[in-house]
Amino acid sequence: MAKIKATRTPNMQSWHQQNVKAHLQNNRFTAYIQDKLLIQNYMMQYEIIGGIRFQYNTLADEYLYSPRFAFAAKSLNKNKHVFRLSAGVYYQPVFYREIRKFDGTLADNKTAQKSVHFVAGHNFKFSALGRNLQLFTEVYYKKLNNIIPFEMDNIRVKYYADIRTSGYVKGIDTKIRGDFVPGIDSWFSLSFLKTEEKVLDLSGDSSFYISRPTDQRVTANLFVQDYLPGNKRFKAFLNFVFGTGFPFGEPRNLQEKAKYRSFSYQRVDLGASAVLVNEEKTYKSNFLNHFKSIWLTVEVFNMLDIENTVSYRWIHVVPNSSLAANNVNNNFPVPYNLTGRRFNLKISIKI
């Protein structure tokens, strides 16, 4: 039994409260079977994995079958190339908040959301500039059906519970990692993503694609670690993060919810660590000898104190006259910013 107190704002112009009671009961049953076949010769190693998952939930009275398949081929030479292919059908039965409308009532359509995944990947080891490196690349495409659109309100996800759309997700992820500094890993990653969903126009006669809220086209991350020269008991790291803006628009307006783009996300983190206790050394204090290692770490997150936006709150200004209401846009977005600069001190103990 759920008792909901909802605030409704049709067209962002009138306000009233509703008290809604809803009874929701759901039983879920899942099972899966999987098998793996391994084949190897003097040059290559092959791995084939196949399986199927079964789901049933009483809320929608659905029997769902999700077959999955994965194939991997690994070369046994020094570069150790690995090629991977996988595909599968995935269902996500609805949860309570996904079928709750803006007015607090529950949607009639309670069928599961569906996606079909295709993924291809490759990674291998190589040497460059006197360093051992590894390059990872993955390309993916996901076909989405019967999905529930949503929008962001601060960090809260709000669903258009009575609407279902179709869409896709496609992209590529790359990452290079290795011991740029001997003994500790560093890496650089770069990702491209595009995801859209198809919605009906205002007349309902045709449809068009709009960006989904997770459509952040480019993200990049550089993480570098280094020791203090001549002393491996002290090390420092530098972390750069960049992401292009996400789509947003006026709330409760499906056609306009991806009309604008936020500012890009940027962050720089800095940290330093020191070994207080090393398991390879013996200390005069018997108490310290009980620990394998103790690390003291000092970190500064968002060192440049950049104001990054997580979502937008929309403010509606009531006009003085009906003439102004018809000719002026009275809705204005105000950003919700993430936390600024933060300092962190931590001790890691290994017993």
Please check the confidence at residue 24 and state whether its pLDDT lies above 90.
no
On the question of pLDDT at 16 being above 70, the answer is no
Compute the average pLDDT of residues 300-325: 81
Domain ranges in the chain are 2-350
Q: What is the pLDDT of residues 191-206, one digit of tens each?
A: 999 999 998 877 777 8
Is the entire prediction scored with pTM above 0.75? yes
Identify whether the C-beta of residue 172 lies closer than 8 Å to the C-beta of residue 189: no
Q: What single DSSP character describes residue 11?
A: G
Q: What CATH number does the domain located at 2-350 have?
A: 2.40.170.20
Q: Is 279 helix (H, G, I), strand (E, B) or coil?
A: coil
- The stretch 243-264 carries a mean pLDDT of 90
Of 29, 75, 23, nearest to 56 by C-alpha is 29
Q: How far apart are CA 104 and CA 162, in angstroms?
A: 12
With a CB cutoff of 8 Å and minimum separation 6, the contacts of 39 are: 45, 46, 47, 48
Tokens 């759309």 belong to: 165
Q: Are 342 and 329 in contact (CB under 8 A)?
A: no
- Please report the pLDDT score of residue 41 as a whole number: 86
| Predicted local distance difference test score (pLDDT) of residue 302 | 94
What pLDDT does residue 12 have? 43
Tally the C-alpha atoms within 13 A of residue 87's C-alpha that lie toward its C-beta. 3
Residue 313 is predicted with a pLDDT of: 87
- Residue 26 tokens read as 């759901």
Grade residue 7 by pLDDT with cuts at 50, 70 and 90: very low
Please list, residue by residue across 238-260, b when 16 or more beta carbons sit within 10 angstroms of its beta carbon and e when fewer do: ebebebbbbbbbbbbebeebbee
The fraction of the chain above a pLDDT of 70, given in percent, is: 89
Percent residues over pLDDT 90 in the chain: 49
Q: Which DSSP symbol is given to 229? A: T
Helices within the chain (DSSP H only): 322-327
Provide the pLDDT for residue 330: 76
pLDDT value for 293: 79
Task: For residues 258 and 298, give the distance between their C-alpha atoms in angstroms, rounded to a whole number.
Answer: 40
Which residue, 60, 142, 144, is CA-closest to 99? Answer: 60
Helix, strand, coil content of the chain in percent (nearest 5): 5, 65, 30
pLDDT in tens, 204-227: 778 899 999 999 999 999 999 988
Residue 20 has pLDDT above 80, yes or no: no
Q: What is the pLDDT of residue 324?
A: 53
Q: Which residues contact 35 (CB under 8 A, 6 or more apart)?
A: 49, 50, 51
